[in-house]
Structure 1
Amino acid sequence: MSLLYLWVKWIHILSSTLLMGTGLGIAFFMWVAHLRGDAKVIAATARTVVIADACFTAPAVVVQLLTGLWLTRIMGIPLTHYWIKVALILFVLVGCCWLPVLWLQVRARNLAMQASAGGEPLPAAYYRTMRWWFWLGWPAFISVVAIFWLMVMKPG
């Protein structure tokens, strides 16, 4: 194995770990804040979650894609190879869930900030936003777990 391959693989593994860790952490803290039902807590938590997604999750997504494609090139594996193709399809699915989730987190933050500033209860729009956030998170999480499995097992 070349030294380049090992470095790219190391970066790929680190970024996948960062992606999974921040994804789970963000989901956990956002959900716990939501369960508390306190607009001020939700606004503060969502503000941090939005920053964390911009600083950690988004760059990790880009690094994942670039290093994954680079690894296939180094190894001479075509993108049409079964497990690579499935992983890329799942990666796109994750993105299709994650991009709306980013917008939903910003919306939840803004709605909670407005409610908190006005001393009002959380509006119905906030609860609709969080329902979408919750349900879009599941296919993304399951897909990321499946991608991890594909990277390790490399079937077919």
Structure 2
Amino acid sequence: MAYDVWKLVHLLGVILLVGNVTVTSIWKLYADRTRDPRIIGFAQRLVTVTDWFFTFWGILLLVAGGYGAAWVAGMDPLRDGWLVWSEVQFVAAGVIWLTVLVPIQVRQARMARVFATTGEIPAEYWRAGRRWIIWGLIATIPLVGALWTMVAKP
């Protein structure tokens, strides 16, 4: 029973994390396509809000549930091959997110606060947006890899 509870916590974390990463990128792209500074400013603010609300808590649930389930099942998440490999992929995605994507989001959010009122979207916002999408896709690859590894247990 305890294993099932930890596994449920783990899966809820996965749903929050992967769901938010996917949905946020889609609605941000659609907001940017409007070229309306107010809509883009609002969407950019929500990128930050949803990252804290869904991504952050999703990561916490995912990690706590995963380690809790492994502990109850008698597995060693620091030695069992498929668990280690999934953790490496998860950490790789997190490193990309923290070192590349979060700084871009912060810059874009600061710009959006200004242009939401002035109406002038600087070229740097669009360049940063392209980098955000490219690096977001790159960061998603190890995240999906970790998900596959957890399911397939190679």
Q: Same fold (TM over 0.5)?
A: yes
CA contact (8 A) 2:41 2:112 kept: yes
Aligned counterpart, 2:86: 87
- Superimposed CA distance per residue, residues 111-132 of structure 1 (whole angstroms, 9 cap, x where no aligned partner): 1231232232x21221222122
CA distance in 2, matches of 1:65, 1:12: 7
Aligned counterpart, 1:132: 131
One-letter amino acid matched to 1:154: K
CA contact (8 A) 1:98 1:137 kept: yes
CA distance in 2, matches of 1:24, 1:141: 9
CA distance in 2, matches of 1:51, 1:25: 13
Aligned-residue identity in percent = 30
Cα RMSD of the aligned pairs, angstroms, is 1.5
Instruction: Specify which of 5, 22, 30 is matched with residue 3 of structure 2.
Output: 5
CA distance in 1, matches of 2:4, 2:90: 22
Per the normalisation by structure 1, the TM-score is 0.89
Runs in 1 of length 4+ with deviation above 4 angstroms?
Answer: none
CA distance in 2, matches of 1:22, 1:41: 19
Aligned with 2:79: secondary structure? coil
Matches within 5 A, 1:94-105: 94-99=93-98, 100-105=100-105
Deviation at 1:135, TM superposition (A): 1.6
One-letter amino acid matched to 1:49: V
Deviation at 1:9, TM superposition (A): 0.5
- Superimposed CA distance per residue, residues 83-128 of structure 1 (whole angstroms, 9 cap, x where no aligned partner): 11111111111111222323322321221231232232x2122122
Per the normalisation by structure 2, the TM-score is 0.90
Deviation at 1:4, TM superposition (A): 0.6
Matches within 5 A, 1:1-156: 3-78=1-76, 79-99=78-98, 100-120=100-120, 122-155=121-154
Structure 1: stretches of 5+ with no match in the other structure: none
CA contact (8 A) 2:3 2:72 kept: yes
How many aligned residue pairs are there?
Answer: 152
CA distance in 1, matches of 2:39, 2:122: 15
